[in-house]
Structure 1
Amino acid sequence: MFARNRVLREVDQGGNTAAAQALIETNEPILSFDTAYNLQLAISQYEPFVAAGGWEEIPQEAYNLSIGKGGKANIAVKRRLISSGDMAVVENVDDMFDQQTDAGVRAFQARHGLIVNGQVDEPTWYAMSVPAQTRLNQLYLNFQRVQTMAANLSERYVVVNIPAATIEAVAGGMVEQRHTAVVGRVERATPIMASKVSQINFNPYWHVPKSLIERDLTKYMQEDPEYLTKQNIHIYDGSGAEISPTTIDWTNIGAAVNYMFRQEPGAENSMGHCKINFYNPYDCYLHDTPTKALFGENARFHSSGCVRVEGVNQLVNWLLRDNGDWDQARVDTTFESNERLDVECKARVPLHTTYITAWANKQGTVSFRDDVYQFDAQGKVTFEEA
């Protein structure tokens, strides 16, 4: 008890979180020749370690361990953190979850894109349980992916990294903005593609795609006949005349898809205050969202293929900086006004959606993400891009 109280007094959880974030929040792009070089260095470090047997398995008893807790499972957690470089080597590995263990867990969580809370929660336990050989295989695959893509990059570009559910706005070889994102779930995956940003739609209408009418809208209306009204969605026939939801048989999917469903601009609009257009055959785009809480989750795979962007107003300002008459204040004011406005981007900034599950920076920090679409399992190095 006395040891636990001492640990709780000494630990600086805020400082440990800041140190963990500093390991990954550099201005180095995930896609670059520098990252390819850093991945080579990581491979050279992981290969002999894996050949020697890798790290030990984490027992189930480690689940939910956190600062101040004692028990033999702490020894396994510490040995695991030391093995992956998240915790410094200590002379004696004891059974107390102390300041150093808290710092190590937070570093591990930051490197794996997890919520940094210092607790061996379920996502952290599963990430710790991934064998070192699997991580080495990820390094091999992603070195080839990054090396291949880096040759096609321009001076300025946007990257959506699907496994990390993050976005980087890059210029002059440096990340100028980094955004948390929500990307497509497994059954409605965000496609891999290369394109150029063409237009910003402020406070757009949302025309519900036919696929969503078939899969979702008819089901929602059967569950709640007031759903369309609550979501401010109007229905129009082929001549443009608005019709009442009560005239449609919602159990007949074929009948519903013959109409156009349009959501009005406003707080409930599925695209929020803006839509970022780029040429592609998938009807895919970046956009704002009213469901901001999703950005705080570990696994942000919820969309139907499009990409939701946290802090999208800042990205819009970055994309429009060559337009001359746009700044952050004007972007924010236009958002708040709910005014419908389309702005052509004078600079057609390249945009890449890609699949990188492992990368490294010049500090030697190696980051990993889950193989959510199973492209690593398939050994995919290149992708057919639209």
Structure 2
Amino acid sequence: MIVILAAALRQGMLAIGLVVALAALAPFQALAADLASARAMAGLDTHSLLQRLYGDGQPRRLWNDDQARQALSALRAAPTHGLDPDDYDIAGLETRFGDQHGAGADGFDRALSTAMLAFLTHLRYGRTQPDIALPPQEPGPLPFDPADYLRAALQQQQPLELAIDAAAPPIPLYRRVQASLQQYRDLAAAAPAWRAPAQLRPGAELRLGKAAPGLRLVRQRLILLGDLEPQASVADPDQYSPQLARAIRAFQSRHGLAETGKPGPQTLAALAVPLSHRVRQLELTLERLRWIPPLRPGRVIVVNVAAYRLWAFDTTADSSAEPLEMRVIVGNAARTPTPLFIGQMRYLEFNPYWNVPRSIALGEIVPRLARNSGYLKQQRMELVSPDGKVQRMPAHAALAELRAGTVRVRQTPGAHNVLGAVKFAMPNPMNIYLHSTSAKELFGKARRDLSHGCIRVERPEALAAFVLADQPQWQGPAIAAAMAPGPVRTVRLSESIPVVLFYATAATDRQGRTLFAEDIYQRDNKLMRAMRAN
């Protein structure tokens, strides 16, 4: 996976008007009002857009023949953005185009305007309602009004491509994913029959230079996908060659799998995924990128939950600068998935206490304490009253107080603390934050949805250096000293840093590699259904 939104918001502040109607954050989900109501409230419904485009509403024509042809061509090219031309009645418009000079001219004019306004709205604000909670939009006019852009293009005889380019997200990643989408559409057309590679025999051991049944198809598949050079031929196509092992590792790297260089069950399952499904994944990423509002220029932290990856970068820096990248651990898919939202990191806590959420205290700590009266002491946990004073009491009394909610649990700082040496706080109603961890071995797992919802980061020292980079007193040695066992210390950032908790199962890195991730939260099917329904 690559930098999701890396240098993404580099081209300025293009705030999103649709989010006026979004509801506040709620635990573990992003709430949004009905899409039609949201767009009506934001002035993005068909009636409001047409009224602004045509002004007084009197019958008149805005489109000449050349502009109408440009519009029809743009609508036919909607699939390059992962959109469906049928949603804009392209067939009906093309049929009516030949009759636009007759009695139906005004009707065709307004129908074409309606289609183009819808297309521009979808490009800027998305085809469906977001499943990521977005910050509220400040009151005021729409930062991007499709009617204004379309009217300017028509009146000034500008190519419609300018309005379309202005509408599409100004995110480098968006353009890269578009390129991958076309590549995978071409692959799907070239190989519509996608037979699953045969599983290797249980217990079969691959050895370099030796043949194994089934590797022929693996080799062919990797050549088609670009992970293996076509000229890397061998006398026996079933031979497990060093080139094939490297190609398998490259494929595994692109798909978030353990990079063993051997075609195990997970790798073979990924090779068997139909290319048509990969196309849909890329289309969904384009839709999700359309939801993300631009953030102010400067430092940004992005977590792609599906890919278990974090990137930190400065949108005002040299575009060739490599972002800070690291593995993360996210919320458990079955019980505590990480919610998707855009937060603001405001301070760090070195050697933090872990203030145990009440849900965890009741669901996990109370049952363990009931079985083992010494559990709190063993875990170096303590009971705290509402006024912050530590309470000492026997286990049976602690159970009663915890169940009643008159005390809470916290874990003392130190190497044993589940938050590790530093907590990156971004205050929000769900109490979600980033933190280090005492269980560093978990970063070696391929599947890392293991937390209660917060984000555990692999390289906390590097992330601390990134967020404190503008404070000279907080250089490497000072951070290392603060992270050593010692007292709790809170350090406020000089300015808040946006943290985007994003979700995408397909993307394209800056080297042009198309990357895929498992849909751990089962969000893709829901979005595909929404795309078809709206």
TM-score above 0.5 = yes
Residue in 2 that maps onto 1:44: 182
Residue in 1 that maps onto 2:148: none
Match runs of 1:225-304 below 5 Å:
225-238=373-386, 240-248=389-397, 250=399, 255=403, 257-304=405-452
Give per-residue Cα distances to partners, 1:305-335, cap 9 Å, x unaligned: 1000111011011101122211011101111
Residue in 1 that maps onto 2:221: 80
Change (3 A) 1:189 1:31: farther
* Structure 1 CA distance for aligned equivalents of residues 273 and 401 of structure 2: 43
Task: Give how far 1:135 is off.
Answer: 1.0
Change (3 A) 1:158 1:269: same
Change (3 A) 1:116 1:36: same
Structure 1: state its 5+ residue gaps: 1-23
Change (3 A) 1:130 1:275: same
**Which of 297, 322, 326 pairs up with 1:179?**
326
Matched, 1:309 2:450: no
TM-score norm. by structure 1 comes to: 0.85
Q: Larger RCO: Structure 1 or Structure 2 (Cα < 8 Å, ≥ 6 residues apart)?
A: 1
Which secondary structure does the structure 1 equivalent of 2:237 belong to? coil
Task: Give how far 1:150 is off.
Answer: 6.7
Matched, 1:192 2:330: no
* Structure 2 CA distance for aligned equivalents of residues 253 and 55 of structure 1: 60
Residue in 2 that maps onto 1:18: none
Which secondary structure does the structure 2 equivalent of 1:313 belong to? helix
* Structure 2 CA distance for aligned equivalents of residues 70 and 48 of structure 1: 31
Which secondary structure does the structure 2 equivalent of 1:347 belong to? strand
* Structure 1 CA distance for aligned equivalents of residues 278 and 380 of structure 2: 47
Give per-residue Cα distances to partners, 1:124-152, cap 9 Å, x unaligned: 23322222111111011102222442744
Residue in 1 that maps onto 2:480: 332
* Structure 2 CA distance for aligned equivalents of residues 82 and 253 of structure 1: 64
Matched, 1:370 2:518: yes
- 8 A Cα contact 1:182 1:303, kept in partner: yes
**Which of 109, 115, 126 pairs up with 2:269?**
126
Change (3 A) 1:26 1:306: closer
Task: Give how far 1:249 is off.
Answer: 7.1
**Which of 39, 53, 58 pairs up with 2:197?**
58
**Which of 96, 102, 109 pairs up with 2:252?**
109
- 8 A Cα contact 1:67 1:102, kept in partner: no
Residue in 2 that maps onto 1:15: none
* Structure 1 CA distance for aligned equivalents of residues 176 and 392 of structure 2: 59
- 8 A Cα contact 2:330 2:455, kept in partner: yes
Equivalent AA in structure 1 for residue 288 of structure 2: R
- 8 A Cα contact 1:237 1:260, kept in partner: yes
- 8 A Cα contact 1:213 1:257, kept in partner: no
Equivalent AA in structure 1 for residue 247 of structure 2: G
Structure 2: state its 5+ residue gaps: 10-170
Residue in 2 that maps onto 1:165: 308
Change (3 A) 1:317 1:161: same
For the pair shown, which has the larger CA radius of gyration, 1 or 2? 2
**Which of 360, 363, 374 pairs up with 1:215?**
363
How many residue pairs match? The answer is 358
Q: CA-atom RMSD, angstroms?
A: 2.6
- 8 A Cα contact 2:295 2:498, kept in partner: no
- 8 A Cα contact 2:5 2:302, kept in partner: no
* Structure 2 CA distance for aligned equivalents of residues 30 and 113 of structure 1: 23
TM-score norm. by structure 2 comes to: 0.62
Give the percent of matched residue pairs that are identical in Structure 1 and Structure 2: 27
Which secondary structure does the structure 1 equivalent of 2:256 belong to? coil
* Structure 1 CA distance for aligned equivalents of residues 500 and 271 of structure 2: 30
Change (3 A) 1:320 1:291: same
Equivalent AA in structure 2 for residue 58 of structure 1: P
Equivalent AA in structure 2 for residue 120 of structure 1: P
Residue in 2 that maps onto 1:12: none
- 8 A Cα contact 1:42 1:366, kept in partner: yes
Equivalent AA in structure 2 for residue 149 of structure 1: I
- 8 A Cα contact 2:343 2:426, kept in partner: yes
Residue in 2 that maps onto 1:4: none
* Structure 2 CA distance for aligned equivalents of residues 115 and 257 of structure 1: 44
Task: Give how far 1:70 is off.
Answer: 2.1
Higher strand share: 1
* Structure 2 CA distance for aligned equivalents of residues 163 and 118 of structure 1: 23
- 8 A Cα contact 1:67 1:118, kept in partner: no
- 8 A Cα contact 2:328 2:443, kept in partner: yes
